Structure 1
Amino acid sequence: MPKNTAVGPKRFWKSFWYAAQGIRQAFRTEQNMRVHSGFAVFVLLLAALFRVPPGDWLLLLLAITLVLAAELINTAIESVVDLVSPEVHPLAKAAKDTAAGAVFLTALFAVIAGIYVFYHPVMDWITAFMS
């Protein structure tokens, strides 16, 4: 018998519950998920402090979402690879390394987006502070 026999709206809402459990699991077990989340909170606090414009908020939120989503996908891939290939195997390594590369790529985008958003506000603040 299938695990989830709910239908209609009940099944729909249950899918949100499962997604939240997945995020919670990744946050509890993956150090990088906690690190990325901590940086996200820090960046959002800085954005509020520097009163960045709405379009820049959107860019920051996009970058944060991409990094966290990539980290969740990386965690899922690593879990499945560990399940099906507990021993070291070149293809298992390739899958894990490629998934980690996706996280790295999105994190690099987030850094570039952060530089774009914060460069002028930070330079203005430094200039005002030095005056």
Structure 2
Amino acid sequence: MSLELKDKRKIIGFSYAWNGLKEIVRSERNFRIHLTITVLVIITGLLLHLSALEWGIIILTIGLVLTAEVTNSAIEKTIDYLRPEIHPSAKVIKDVAAGAVLVAAVISVVIGVLIFWPKIESLIF
């Protein structure tokens, strides 16, 4: 396979991924909420001068939540495609996928409190 063809495939693959992200931003309210919170967390982190380690933990946590939300959306859309009618098993699959997002979100709140609270506390008291 020529180098030019490999480069073209990489670009095409990236464009599919980019299209998927644009679609989830456009169609998924919860993803937009997570993005808004992400922006607020980043602004807060900049204002509180997080260390490199703290930034690493925050970025990984943001990635965990956003990835969980994207995966949940993909699972929901797949189930809707395969089983457009209401079915008990489809509901369980969707609920479990949503539960994964909830777990990621709760973990992110705990991590956020552990990192941000001492810094905020030192500014207040």
TM-score normalised over the length of structure 2: 0.94
Structure 1: 4+ residue segments shifted above 3 A: none
Following TM superposition, by how much is the alpha carbon of 1:7 offset from its aligned partner in structure 2, in angstroms? 4.3
Alignment-derived partner of residue 63 in structure 2 = 65
Following TM superposition, by how much is the alpha carbon of 1:14 offset from its aligned partner in structure 2, in angstroms? 1.0
Deviation digits for residues 19-75 of structure 1 (CA, Å, limit 9, x no counterpart): 111111001000000000000000000000000111001111011001001110111
Alignment-derived partner of residue 3 in structure 1 = none
SS of the residue aligned with 1:88? coil
Structure 2: segments with no counterpart, 5+ residues: none
2:15 to 14, 17, 25: 17
Q: C-alpha root-mean-square deviation of aligned residues, in Å?
A: 1.1
Alignment partner of 1:75 is 2:73: yes
Alignment-derived partner of residue 51 in structure 2 = 53
Alignment-derived partner of residue 26 in structure 1 = 24
Kindly provide the amino acid, as one letter, of the partner of residue 70 in structure 2. Answer: L
Structure 1: segments with no counterpart, 5+ residues: 1-5
Identity score, percent: 37
